[in-house]
Amino acid sequence: DGGITQSPKYLFRKEGQNVTLSCEQNLNHDAMYWYRQDPGQGLRLIYYSQIVNDFQKGDIAEGYSVSREKKESFPLTVTSAQKNPTAFYLCASRKETGGMNTEAFFGQGTRLTVV
């Protein structure tokens, strides 16, 4: 079964701690994304990566870090520098087709709560 897997589904973090959210895909997609959703708001882009070992900041990258060492994996670290980390985090992937647009596929999300 091809798809995107995010883990864990629920995550609790103490203030001042870093935490890493996992995102794995077996769709052979080149591009991967991290979005954040807050209540009543749309999806805001944190980071994205179009190829292995390369990634770009999105609109709200401060307090977050990512890595893209493998095509299948794009983990997101929420650092202690992120002032308001409690949110629903969504990972997505998209097949790059050399100029043709395609849809993005999303994982089921991770709800992070700072306690």
Partner 1 sequence: DQQVKQNSPSLSVQEGRISILNCDYTNSMFDYFLWYKKYPAEGPTFLISISSIKDKNEDGRFTVFLNKSAKHLSLHIVPSQPGDSAVYFCAASFGGTSYGKLTFGQGTILTVHP
Q: How many CB atoms lie within 10 A of CB 82?
A: 21
Comparison of 6 and 82: residue with beta carbon closer to partner 1: 6
Instruction: Name the β-bridge partners of 83.
Output: none
Q: What is the DSSP letter of 52?
A: T
Q: How far is the C-alpha of 109 from the C-alpha of 111, rounded, in Å?
A: 7
Q: Which of 15, 40, 83, 84 binds partner 1 (CB under 8 A)?
A: 40
Stretch that binds partner 1, among 12-20, 30-38, 63-71, 79-87 (CB under 8 A): 30-38
Check if the beta carbon of residue 94 is closer than 8 Å to that of residue 33. Answer: yes
Q: How far is the C-alpha of 62 from the C-alpha of 70, rounded, in Å?
A: 23
Q: Which of 7, 20, 81, 96 binds partner 1 (CB under 8 A)?
A: 96
Comparison of 58 and 63: residue with beta carbon closer to partner 1: 58
Q: How far is the C-alpha of 65 from the C-alpha of 111, rounded, in Å?
A: 17
Q: Which of 13, 22, 50, 79 binds partner 1 (CB under 8 A)?
A: 50
Residues lying near partner 1 in the complex (CB under 8 A) = 4, 6, 31, 33, 35, 40-45, 48, 50, 56, 58, 88, 90, 92, 94, 96, 99, 101, 103-109, 111
